[in-house]
Each structure stands twice: as structure tokens, then as C-alpha cells.
Structure 1
Amino acid sequence: MKYVDEYRDGKLARKIAATIAAEAKPDHDYRFMEFCGGHTHAIARYGLEDLLPKNVRMIHGPGCPVCVLPVGRMDDAIKLAQRPDVTLCTYADLMRVPGSNGLSLIKAKAAGADIRMVYSTLDALRIAQEEPARKIVFFAIGFETTTPPTALALVQAQKLGLKNFFVFCNHVLTPAAIQNILESPDVRDLGLVRIDGFIGPAHVSTVIGTRPYDFFAEEFQKPVVVAGFEPLDVMQAILMLVRQVNDGRCEVENEYSRAVTPDGNLKAQDLVSSIFELRDMFEWRGLGDVPYSALKLRDAYAAFDAEKVFEITTQPAQDNPACECGAILRGVKKPTDCKLFGTVCTPETPMGSCMVSSEGSCAAHWTYGRFRDATEKQAS
């Protein structure tokens, strides 16, 4: 295959779906979690759930870094942006994520805060060079995929001797979140979620490789198939998971072999390790406090650390009590289970982060109109 269209061949997708239906045991229910929001959107956009037999269901995981950012950290960013000497640089997805008391970065910007949307860390560096009188804070967020660019920006800032460039670090780690879900499948009164296997993230795995998932296959006896984001990638990964369950195997398999290797990008890993270290604890929206699940700047880069320079102390904050983002991120509930979905909560008026981010489950359901669960409930 050379072109992306080949990975979107509808006839081949239906052929794989027919194989899944033939091999899925009728007396067995299969529940697979796609961790990454990119997979969630592929499933919704191409209607892949509609191709699957009813006993093979997908559970949407917390694989959206904007979605899992807790309210308290959004409040920290808003407070930073409201400082008269600070320019906050951020990605567009973060602009409308609700903080406490109905505030958001876009509302803070409308009220006069200097907040600028950027496409990369290099944009923030350029602003710091061009405006030395301003304190430029880059709102760093993302999984392992976006961490190397932040590390490169810090290396470059140090080489340039910039005194006005800072990073508010919110980079989090995929394996820690998967382990949290497996070790505590219930949370408070949200209920239980059964997971028979995982579709491993694509872009994350190009950096970290497939080896980190060996632990989940061995320790938790859960098969993992790393897959690309195209519809045929996802369908093939589901077939591979069905076959592992049928065979009683719990292995890590790599469907995305055209981009992912067992060891990943060692150069990127070494760079990140030289700039960042593990936090003892970090809060995830929907998962709570997860140990060793996030990164912070090493002491050698303390002069660039916004948390230290601006003495940020995150205060606990709660989501909108009617919002079901927490349960949706854990896979316990579907977006359509939320009473706010499609009523007061829409992309134009989001009540929770899952409706804001381009990778959020609620945004995927809204954008592509995939309401199979709601239809089935009405039919029953």
C-alpha cells in the first residue's frame, strides 16, 4: 500500500468485518477499549461500529490529553494568562475547555488576557525572541507524542539564552493511565467496565515502541494490538484482538508495523529523559490521582519551569456536576448516556472537555452522528 486511500477501502473493510463476524463466537461478548482519541474518531467517522457484530463492542478510552486535563490545571493556566506581564501560548483545543466558575481561556482572552494560539513550540519560542519584555509561557500538553517537541524548545531556549520563555508542563504518560484503568475498573459510584483487550495508540507508540505494553499482556492478561488511525488499521486490529481472545492468548501485536517498532524512537526517548523526570503523582480527569503518570522539568531547567517561577500551586476543582466526562473517559459510559449531550452541551457551548477537544469522545459522537447505543435503547 502506498496511498492513504488504500487504507480506506470500503469493500476491504466490509470483508474484514465479515471475517470478524464469522470468527467471533456467538456465545461470547467481546469488549475492546481503543485508548486513543484518534481511534475513537476513526471509528465514528467511518461508521466502523456499524460493521461489527453486536457482540463485539468498542469502549472509548481516555486517550485525549486535553480531555484528561483536570479543572485545577485549567484554572492555573487561566490565572497565569490573567497576569499583566504574561503572554500565554497554547494550542487551539485548549481555548474553550471549561475551568471553574464558567471561565475558559477564550473568555479570559475576551476579557483582555494576552493569550495566543500557536501551532508548535517553535511559534512560542519565536514570540519570546521577538518580545523580550513579555514573559512567554507555553502551555505544554500531550502524551509521549508531543513531549519531544517541548523538550527541543527547552534545549533551544537554553542555547539562545532566553530569560523570558517558560513552560507550564502538563505532559502525561499513556502506560500509567492504562494501568490505572486495569487496576481500578470501578471508581466511586460510576460502575464497572469490562475490558477484554486494548487497541494501543498509534502516534504514541512511534515514540515509545511496543515494549511498554508487554507488562499489560503479562501482568493483567490483556491482549494489546497497536494500530494505525485509518479504518482498515482499526478493523484489522479488532480482528487480531478477537483471534487472541478466541485462542486464549495475551500478547502484544503490532498492526502498525509501517511506523511502529518494538523499541520506538530511542533518540526522542533520550532527549525527553534528559529534560524531564517523573512526577510522583498527577491528577487525570476521570481517573483521579495517578502515580508516576506525568512529567515535570528537571532541576537543570528550573529557570524555564513556569510552576516554579510563578509559584503555581494547583487547587482542587470539580467538574460541572451534571457532566459525565469522568465516566466517559473511563469507558464506563457512552457520550449519549450524558443528559447534557446534544442539549445544553454542544461544540458551541461545551460543558465538559470531551465535547471541546477534536479528539474527545463526545465531539466524535456529535460530529459524525453515531448514536447506535441511543437507537438500541429506544428499540428495546
Structure 2
Amino acid sequence: MRFVDEFRDPQLAKTLIERLHQRAALLPFSAEKPMQIMEVCGGHTHAIFKFGLDKLLPPQLEFIHGPGCPVCVLPMGRIDACCEIAAHPDVIFCTFGDALRVPGKQGSLLQARERGADVRVVYSPLDALKLARENPQRQVVFFALGFETTLPVTAVTLQQARRERMNNFSVFCQHISLMPTLRSLLQQDDVRIDAFLAPGHVSMVTGTAPYHFINEEFGKPLVISGFEPLDMLQSVLMLVEQVCEASCKTENQYRRVVPEEGNLLAQSAMREVFRLAGSSEWRGLGLIEESGISLTETYAAFDAELRFRPQAQSVADDPRSRCGEVLTGRCKPHECPLFGTGCTPHNAFGALMVSSEGACAAWYQYRHQEMESVAQPQQKNEQQRMAG
């Protein structure tokens, strides 16, 4: 397949891996204390496990998983508020499929639908706007969530709704900004991040400039990466080269998609419709300053929270879960005591196991069966030894 196969070429991958091993030998890191590279985006996390990229790295390098999955950081209280709005008999509540099973304290949107709420899965806010046109007697609410990647399409949808004077359409705004979260991570004493693989999709909108504070204030190298195996291997090599050369800058490996200035039309629509709204709660991470996003005064009439006034409150994370530690790279998914037992994709305890981009879901899909296949013969041998 053109534009895909080229980035999965085994011979090119072998060349990159050999170069990585050569250059990594010069790093001031070891197998005992490797260079920790945080891949921020859940798409990168899944690519790492799907293609086994972490197993190809030299021992001086290690991937750690970051908070770049907006569904994974949905607070329980916000899910409860959505369920409360969805329970109104005149409401059609629209959501992306990933958010359907994220648990709140009062259950998930899927469970709200089972209780009788009209909850529908859509692929775009424009689908929800179409539903509002087709159902003028109903209130259609779209669950607007995501980082800068999805802000433009929500903005364009609201611009269209305003032009059409749609009074039966609104959005529950759970958009959040990624950059303040990266700053928050770097300010935590117990989080060690040596370099970043930055998400291509967010960067396609924002451009490269918003990342410069990571280099200038914290002295960490960063590479904006594509999602194919060769993209990621090349990006890791670029990070290693920076460290070897005592350099620290933002580089753009994903130039075929990400312009340096980002998408200027998208940025213009975002500025018209949205504004920064101070702190926002992130599941597993708590309140993060300057990460909240809300509608501007011009578009406040489309704010579902102002229209329906849900009473749901913030809910503390369950202490049995280690989601916050996984999101900050302090532990691996399988190190959580609930992983694979109390928390599985079919019966998720935390959002990291629900989302298709969650680190726990990726680990479960690509590594859990592998771990079980290793463990089962060991268990069988132990049982035979005990029986003998």
C-alpha cells in the first residue's frame, strides 16, 4: 500500500536499529538507568506494542507512556454529568465510541443507555448537528472531547450551528490542552523524563512552536513523530543524536504531515469559538493549571452545561487503581494489581483499559496473552512438581 509499506520496510528498519545501537552506546545512560523517552500519544503507544518496537531498542533506551489519550483522562465526575444530561427525556446525547464505556461513579454512558437514555455513537460533531436538524423537537448534545486535534472540527460545527441558528444543539465541552500537562509532568519531582516523542496529530494543528518551552525551560529534547514503525525508529534516533551532540531542540520528523506553523485556518476557528478556562481536572492526574477550554461568550448559548446545569460533582480516583502512575510513566500497565484481573477490556476498572488508545488496552491486546503463554507452562511445571 503506497505511503504505508514504505514506512514498514524491514531492511530500512534494520538499518535504523543498527544505527540506534551504535549511537546508544555513546549515551550517558545504562541498562540499569536507561534514557526514558515518553511517547505522549496513545497512537504511538499502540504502534510500539503492535510492532514490538520496544523490544528492538538497545538496553540504554526505554519507552514510558504518557497522558496523550483524552478519553483516558476523563474524570468520573464529568462522565456522571454527561449521564445526568443524557437522562433528560428530550435529549439525544451523542458521543464518540471510545467514551461510551468509560466508567463514572454512577456508571458509564453505555449503562445510561441501558437505563433508557437516548445515547448515540457518532463519528463527528457534524453527525450530531445533522441529528439536530432531523429532530427539531429534541435537544441534541454532543460530547466534545479531545486535545487540540479535535478542537477544529468542534469549532467548525459550532460556527455552522450559529449560522443556522440551531437552538436545539449544544456541546458538553471536555476539550483540554495538552501543553500544560507536559509542563505539569516536568515539574513533578518523582517523574523522570529524558526526552519526548510528540504527537503528530496534535502538532498538525498547533505546529512546532508550542513545544519550545520543553527545550528552553526544562532542557529536554523533543521530536514530533509519525506513527509508522520507521517514523518512530527514526524519531528515536533523532532524540539519541541530540543527546549525543549535547543538543536540545524541537525537531519535526513528521514533515510530510506537520507544517512548522500548523494549520492556520484551524487555529483561527479555534480562537473564535474557544478560550482557555483555567484549571481542568484530569483523571489520574488531578487539576492541571491552564489546561481547561471553554466556549467564548459568542458561543456560550451552545454550552450544554449552562443549558442543563448538571449537579454531578468531582469524584476522587479509586486508590486501588494505578492509572495516574501509568499516565506519568512511573509504572507499566502490568504492574497495576488490577491489570488483567479486576480490569480487562471487557470489564474495565479504569479509562486506560477502555480507550482504544489507552496504554493498558494496548498492553493487554499485544502483551497480556504473551505473558500468559509464558506463565502457563511455568504454572503447569509447578503444579506437576507439587503433585509429584
TM-score (structure 2 length as normaliser): 0.92
**1:100 aligned counterpart, secondary structure:** coil
1:51-102, Cα deviation, whole Å (9 max, x unpaired): 011220001000000001111111111111112221110000011101004x
Question: What is the RMSD of the two structures over their aligned residues, measured on CA atoms?
Answer: 1.9
**1:58 aligned counterpart, secondary structure:** strand
* Aligned residue type for 1:9: D
Asked whether 1:4 is paired with 2:8, we answer no
Aligned to 1:64: 69
Distance 2:124 2:7 in 1: 28
Structure (1 or 2) with the larger CA radius of gyration? 2
1:218-229 correspondence runs (5 A): 218-229=216-227
Distance 1:348 1:368 in 2: 15
Aligned to 2:84: 79
Change (3 A) 1:312 1:212: same
1:223-372 correspondence runs (5 A): 223-312=221-310, 315-369=313-367
Asked whether 1:110 is paired with 2:114, we answer yes
List runs of 5+ in structure 2 lacking aligned partners. Answer: 379-388
* Aligned residue type for 2:115: A
Change (3 A) 1:287 1:272: same
Asked whether 1:15 is paired with 2:20, we answer no
Distance 1:117 1:141 in 2: 13
Distance 1:343 1:303 in 2: 45
Residues 307 and 313 of structure 1 are in contact (CA less than 8 Å); yes or no, is this contact kept in structure 2?
no
Distance 1:300 1:343 in 2: 48
Aligned to 2:41: 36
Distance 1:2 1:130 in 2: 39
1:316 Cα shift? 1.6
Quote the sequence identity (%). Answer: 49
Residues 351 and 358 of structure 2 are in contact (CA less than 8 Å); yes or no, is this contact kept in structure 1?
yes
Consecutive aligned runs of 4 or more in structure 1 exceeding 4 Å deviation = 370-375
**1:129 aligned counterpart, secondary structure:** helix
Residues 320 and 351 of structure 1 are in contact (CA less than 8 Å); yes or no, is this contact kept in structure 2?
no
1:314 Cα shift? 5.0
Residues 278 and 293 of structure 1 are in contact (CA less than 8 Å); yes or no, is this contact kept in structure 2?
yes
Distance 1:58 1:163 in 2: 47
Distance 1:332 1:234 in 2: 22
1:126-167, Cα deviation, whole Å (9 max, x unpaired): 110111111110000011111111011101111111110000
1:2 Cα shift? 4.9
1:77-156 correspondence runs (5 A): 77-101=82-106, 103-156=107-160
**1:65 aligned counterpart, secondary structure:** coil
**2:259 aligned counterpart, secondary structure:** coil
List runs of 5+ in structure 1 lacking aligned partners. Answer: 186-191
Distance 1:179 1:318 in 2: 23
1:370 Cα shift? 6.4
Q: Tell me how many residue pairs correspond in the alignment.
A: 370
